[in-house]
Structure formats: structure tokens, C-alpha cells
Structure 1
């Protein structure tokens, strides 16, 4: 613990030194300078993922330089029910945070709990041109923007550009694997392709283009639809992957695949955005493309989850809190990747691996936003079970039928509950 703390502090010092060298040319703190405050205030920022600790401490230091009246106080919260804890502290215990971190799948719960303030001060910053479509959808509810996008996660295919090229379909990877030959030049490569077939999040993309959960805005519980013909085609192909690559879904992990790829021992694998931090510190020259489709006549579409900052309506310092939320999600976003090891939601940054960064953001922007309404978890659980069943040799028609029946019952119950609530 002490070693991690020391490394975090050294990283902060390094970043501050670099930032100080920018002098007056760096005007990213204008929002802080424009705040009209009558005295010193503290903006408490709650988060429940310790990976953001160093980054938030860095932002706090930089913001203080621009407005000495504002002290940003990052607080790590470990609670069984994070949103309930924020609600109880805000409403019942007079201990409201000013800003809290939220994952997009919990947006409806936060909104219905009365814990969201509209993101309305910086429209020139918070739009699709800067963050992309998925980020804006994920951070909105009921047609209004509430969140300040910080980071995201999604899935994609990554390949070693030294030995491989981008592909579109799983059949192309199979063909490469079947015909691959070891030479003096590529002798470090021990595997063509491996991935974690057990993960719902990674593999949602297989049939993601043919499943509509929650509608365009990912929040309408009564809007769920399936393309039976296409999904069955996907499942039939997905079922063949176990024999094609000999992968037991119970023995391969995402981390193992990321490790092999980051050491240059594997040509292709499916990763999530959180895994890129490990590869970015290596010399592996990698490329990114969409999760491979299950056939030439099929599409893939990844799922995404966005982590955002949200201003608590119970804050006593609204404008200052919104300026701090902007600083966290926009002004200092170029430090997020190196300090928090997360993929930054901003799509317009200048980075070292520009081509891969742009492709990743294109996939993110076009992704399926994980539905935000309460109770949707069962739908995703059933989807995961369906993938597991066919991968393990189960009948495709039976697996699909079970999944579709669950979807139908869930949608019917949601429609009935929605009708009763409006009476």
C-alpha cells in the first residue's frame, strides 16, 4: 500500500513538473478563474474506483493553482450500494458530496433518486463533436444531459501490426491460424488468436447489432426487440469457435490474453479498453478494429459503459462544482490515461498512438450503450447464458428460444408496470 502511494505521488510530481513547464500558454483553467466566490470553499468529489485516485489528486492541485479559494477533496467511497449511500448521506445525514462518479448503467437509479443536476454550463464542450454519440447518450436521461463523461469501456479486436493486419471476420482469423508458419522473423509469436469467450461484455458484440435493448436512448424498458434470423446465424458460427481454436471458456482470462499480446507473443485477441493501459507502456505497435463479425453477411456491434462525473443537486456550490466536473472530464483529460489507466472519453485529444486512439473512439461512439434502466441486468445475464450454452455445445434453437422467451416476459412485465404507474 505504501509503495503504491509512493508511486502515485511520484507520478503526480512528474506531471506537475511537465505542466508547470507549459507556463502561461496553457489556458485550460479558465473555468476555474471565472468563478466569482466570496470566500474559500471545498468541493467534495466521491468515487468508488480507486484507480482514479492519483488523477483526482492531480486535478485538485492544478485547480487550486487557478483559483486558490477552491479546494477539491477527492474521497474514495466503498459501499455495498453506492447510489443508496450517496442518497442517504445527501438527504438524511446532511453530508452531501458535491460531485460523484457514476457508471452509465446506473443513470436511471441516480436520476429517480433525485441525485442529478443538469450539465448545462458548457455546451461548446459537451457535445458529440468532442465526445461522440455513445458518451452523450450514456450521460443523458429523459432527453437531458446530466453526466460529464470521464472514461469508457468497450470491446474490440487488437492486432500486432508488426506481423498482422486488420481483419473483418472470424473466418479470416481462422484462415490465418490454419495456415500460419513460424519463421526466423516471427519466432516470438506463439499463438495466432486467443480470447476470453466467457465474458458477456467482451462478446456482446457478436450479436449486438441484432439486439435492441432500451431503444435509441438505452432507457426505454418497454422497447426490446430481436432479429431472430440474424442472431441464430451468429450463434451457429459462435458455436464453432470452440472446435476451431480449442479454447475452454473456463480456463482463459482477459488478463492472460492481454499479457500474451503485450509481450508480442500473440497476433490477435479481443480486449476491452481498460486493458490497453498494459499495452501502451510496451513497444508493441498495435492496431484496433471492430470485434470480428461471425460472417460476411453479419455485423458486429460492441457494448459500452461510460464513467462520468455528476454534480449532486444537494451541493451548496453549484457553479464551482460544475467547473470542477469540467476540469475532471475535459480540462485535464489528457492526463487520465497515464494516471488512472483508463481510456479517456474525450475523442479530440492529441496522443502518441493517434491512429489506434481514433479507431477506438469510433468504435466507442458507434457502440451499443448498455441499457440504463433498473432491472435490465436479467436481460444481459440471459444473453450471457445463451452464449455459454451454444459455445459449450448446446442446441442453437433451444438456447435462442429460452433467451427470446425471457425477453418477451421481461418486456411484457415492464409494459404492465409502466401502464399501472401512469394510472
Structure 2
């Protein structure tokens, strides 16, 4: 009996020990699992994250998609943030100085703000490994756009500039009608025998793509226009972006890179001559600056009322989408900006949106890797996904019009970066408006030059007046608004000139 009791006690102790071991095992398993889970969470949280800021919602899908690709390739996470364009650089600065906010490590900025960004410590010289140093990727205008004080402080991503937009359908109709008239005359009278030998194509649509303003006026004089045409040549004369090409080749605000305060050249014979021609254009194509803007100009072109205009790259998607929706029934073409004549050449303006590495960033190396990825690997998809034209040079383009805009971009003047001349474009636009309205081109350019130089020097600067140059565009021509026709008068006394 006693032996039996001892066995029972021992059995009871064993059971208790087993239960204790089981409970201990359960506790150990749960604790171990919790620690493992916490370790995985901590591991994920420890993965490097960089922050990319931008202001244009058209880039959202593209940047989010490319951020995922970049993560798959590098294991570096990218937090993409759309922020307001109002006081954008101030917001970048505030976030960079606030320890409770995530510092934007890399952000997209227009090139005219690069001096301000660099002086505030929000931009830094790019390392030699950055894509900007590969000359094959960017042409001179793109590189100058991100050059400040002899240093590359950003990398060009995409750009905007202007080009000549024309109605290709109308050019073909004009050529066909001109040839039909010419061939008809060949069969009359003494030329009939010559005509029977065969019809000669004397005019092609391609020959009607103007290379100068003189060409446009000559075409308007020589050829009849289709019935729907109201305006032979019409552009937004209220916006300096579409006017600038008239004098762009002869003025400078800061030199090639737009950052040299000693290189201000606004008032000269060529710039005066070019602006006088601009003023004369108002006698041919009377355009009310108060009633027209870029949207109305593009709408008129879309409705087939205009043959030639000056447009920015957004016109490609706008017209293609309108054609798909049955709202644009014509073919169109894009060409280089026309010169004024053989002596006076033109040059457009460009704005480059660039990738900037924040000087306050603690992840500059990873931000540089993202920059390299977006430029070298992702830029081929930029236009199709956003409608933005990449600043990267390519051997070929899916859309032929991209190549034409790139050609205009290559020859353009980047908008300057200097803080002291931040008002230059507003003042230049006012100058153009006054000249368009009839005020003296010579006087307006001289006053503008004195104003800008005074701002830079900190003391009054007076320009020596230049003798007013004589400018001849075409023999006596006058445009009839709303008809698409030019009236040509006989020779004026004293030679060629304009009928006012």
C-alpha cells in the first residue's frame, strides 16, 4: 500500500512537471514568435527611404511607377510627394530645417530658381558620377540651364520651348490650287503646246513651310487660302514665351548660363531692328492682346481658322486627342521657329525642369542613384506617360514632333537664374506690349536695359542712345484681318516699306 501511494505521488509530480513544461514551451514559442515579428518589422523600417518632391500632377503616375521600379532594383524606398507650386522652394527649405518633417532629398525645380536654391543650401554641386557630365546625354542648352557659378547644381529632366505649328492639310490645298492655276495657264494661248508636254508640279506643301517671317508674308501675298481660314499667322502676343524668339538671338541677361551679372546686353542695333519688325507685324496681323491668349489661339487653330502659329509642346497631345475625339479634322506639322529675314535670325526661350539634390539631405548618395535611374533608365517613358519632353538626347523618337521640339530646344536660350533680374521677364513682356501698341521700340528697349542694369549695379545707369535702324520687311503689304489675305499695293515712294 505504502509503495503504491509513493507511485501515485510520483505520477502526480510528473504530470505537474509535464504541464509546466508544456506551459513553458507555449510561452517560449509565443515570445520567440513575437520577437521574430518585431525583428522583421524593424528590418523593414530600417530599409533606406528617400523623399522626392514635385509640383506637377501630370508626373504623379510616372513617378510612382518609376519609384517602384527603382525599389525593385536597389531596395531603396522612394516616398513621392506632390506639393503646391506656390512658394515651393520655401516649403522645401522649411521641411529641410524642421527635424519633425521628412527632408526632401531630391526634388524637381525649374532652372530659373537654381541660384536661389543653391545660395540657400538647397542645391549642391553634383558629383562627377552624375549623368549631367555625360555630354552625349545633353546638349549645350540643357547643360547651361543647370549650370551655376561654373558648377552643375542639377540635372535636366524635361523642358518646354516653342516651335512653329502649321496646318499641313491647308498647305497641301494651297499647293494643289496654285498648281492647278499654273497648269491651267500653261494650256492657254502660246503656252498650250508646252502644257501638253506634261503637267509640272511647281509648288509643294513642304515648300510652304516657312523658314522666315518674310516667307509667311510672301505666301500670304502669293497664294489664296481655303474658305475656313480667318488668320494666316496668329500667335499669343500677350505672352513673352511666344514673343521672345523675335529678339532672343540679340539680347542676353546673364550670358549663356543666365548667371553672369556682368553680361547684360539688351539695347543694341539688332534687338531694336527685331523689335521694330515685331511692331510692324501688328500692321499685317492685327491681334488684340486683351482678347486673345494661348488657349484661344490654340482653339482657333483646332477649328481650322489659322494656318500658322507659335506653340509649345503641349500642342502635340492636345491636337492628337482632339483628332481622336473627332474635334480636329486636319493634319498638322511642327517646324523650327522662323527667322525674321536673311539678316535677322531668331532664337526661342526654354524652361528646363531639373532634378536637384538637397544640400540638407542625409541620403545624397541614394538620391544620386535615383537621379541616375530617372535620367538614364526611365526617361524613355517620360513623354508617353506624362506628355513632358525629356531633356535627354536620343538617336530616334517615336513621335517625330518630339525631334522637332528637341531641335528648337537645342537652339534656345535657357531662362536666366539671377535673383536680381527676377522681374526681367515681366518687364520684357511689358516692353513688348507697349511696342505692339505703337510705342517706340528704341526707347522702350533703352529704358528696359537701364532698369535692369540699375538693379544689378545698385545705382543709376544710363545707356547711350543708338540711332534708330532702318528696317525693311516686304514691299508695301497690308493684311485684311478675318480674311486670311494680304493686300499688296504698288511700289511706295522711296522704295520698299510697310503701308500703315
In the alignment, what sits opposite 2:121?
114
Q: Secondary structure at the match of 1:116?
A: coil
Structure 1 residues 124, 223: CA separation in 2 closer, same or farther (over 3 Å shift)? closer
Structure 1 residues 277, 162: CA separation in 2 closer, same or farther (over 3 Å shift)? same
Q: Please say if residues 132 and 152 of structure 2, whose CA atoms lie closer than 8 Å, have aligned partners that are also in contact.
A: no
Q: Please say if residues 155 and 201 of structure 1, whose CA atoms lie closer than 8 Å, have aligned partners that are also in contact.
A: yes
In the alignment, what sits opposite 1:243?
283
Most deviating of 280-289 and 199-208 = 280-289
Structure 1 residues 160, 352: CA separation in 2 closer, same or farther (over 3 Å shift)? farther
Q: Please say if residues 162 and 310 of structure 2, whose CA atoms lie closer than 8 Å, have aligned partners that are also in contact.
A: yes
Whole-angstrom distance in 1 between the partners of 2:374 and 2:98:
28
Whole-angstrom distance in 2 between the partners of 1:228 and 1:235:
11
Whole-angstrom distance in 2 between the partners of 1:104 and 1:317:
23
In the alignment, structure 1 residue 145 sits paired with structure 2 residue 152 = yes
Most deviating of 383-392 and 337-346 = 337-346
Whole-angstrom distance in 1 between the partners of 2:100 and 2:359:
13
1:264 CA displacement:
5.0
In the alignment, what sits opposite 1:322?
368
In the alignment, structure 1 residue 89 sits paired with structure 2 residue 79 = no
Whole-angstrom distance in 2 between the partners of 1:167 and 1:127:
35
In the alignment, structure 1 residue 204 sits paired with structure 2 residue 204 = no
Whole-angstrom distance in 2 between the partners of 1:414 and 1:89:
37
Cα RMSD for the two superposed structures: 2.6
Structure 1 residues 66, 187: CA separation in 2 closer, same or farther (over 3 Å shift)? farther
TM-score (norm 2): 0.69
Structure 1 residues 103, 209: CA separation in 2 closer, same or farther (over 3 Å shift)? same
In the alignment, what sits opposite 2:440?
395
Q: How many residues align?
A: 375
Q: Please say if residues 49 and 78 of structure 2, whose CA atoms lie closer than 8 Å, have aligned partners that are also in contact.
A: yes
In the alignment, what sits opposite 1:176?
219
Whole-angstrom distance in 2 between the partners of 1:213 and 1:415:
18
Q: Please say if residues 454 and 460 of structure 2, whose CA atoms lie closer than 8 Å, have aligned partners that are also in contact.
A: no
Q: Provide Cα deviations, 1:44-98, integer angstroms capped at 9, x if missing partner.
A: 111122221121112122223323x222221011263211221121123453111
Q: Which runs of 5+ in 1 are unaligned?
A: 1-36, 417-423
Q: Provide Cα deviations, 1:155-183, integer angstroms capped at 9, x if missing partner.
A: 2212233443321221221232344424x
1:212 CA displacement:
1.3
Most deviating of 165-174 and 130-139 = 165-174
Most deviating of 200-209 and 170-179 = 170-179
Q: Which runs of 5+ in 2 are unaligned?
A: 1-43, 172-207, 324-329, 462-500
- 1:231-380 → structure 2 map (5 Å cutoff): 231-262=271-302, 264-281=304-321, 285-348=331-394, 350-354=396-400, 356-380=401-425
Most deviating of 264-273 and 365-374 = 264-273
TM-score (norm 1): 0.81
In the alignment, what sits opposite 1:406?
451
Q: Please say if residues 240 and 429 of structure 2, whose CA atoms lie closer than 8 Å, have aligned partners that are also in contact.
A: yes
Whole-angstrom distance in 2 between the partners of 1:212 and 1:60:
39
Q: Please say if residues 238 and 391 of structure 1, whose CA atoms lie closer than 8 Å, have aligned partners that are also in contact.
A: yes
Q: Please say if residues 289 and 359 of structure 1, whose CA atoms lie closer than 8 Å, have aligned partners that are also in contact.
A: yes
1:273 CA displacement:
2.6
1:387 CA displacement:
0.9
Q: Provide Cα deviations, 1:111-159, integer angstroms capped at 9, x if missing partner.
A: 0011113333545665342221111111121222221211111122122
Q: Please say if residues 254 and 264 of structure 2, whose CA atoms lie closer than 8 Å, have aligned partners that are also in contact.
A: yes
Q: Please say if residues 152 and 305 of structure 1, whose CA atoms lie closer than 8 Å, have aligned partners that are also in contact.
A: yes
Q: Secondary structure at the match of 2:301?
A: helix
Q: Secondary structure at the match of 1:130?
A: coil
In the alignment, what sits opposite 1:7?
none
Most deviating of 373-382 and 255-264 = 255-264
Structure 1 residues 264, 324: CA separation in 2 closer, same or farther (over 3 Å shift)? farther
Whole-angstrom distance in 2 between the partners of 1:187 and 1:127:
52
In the alignment, what sits opposite 1:72?
78
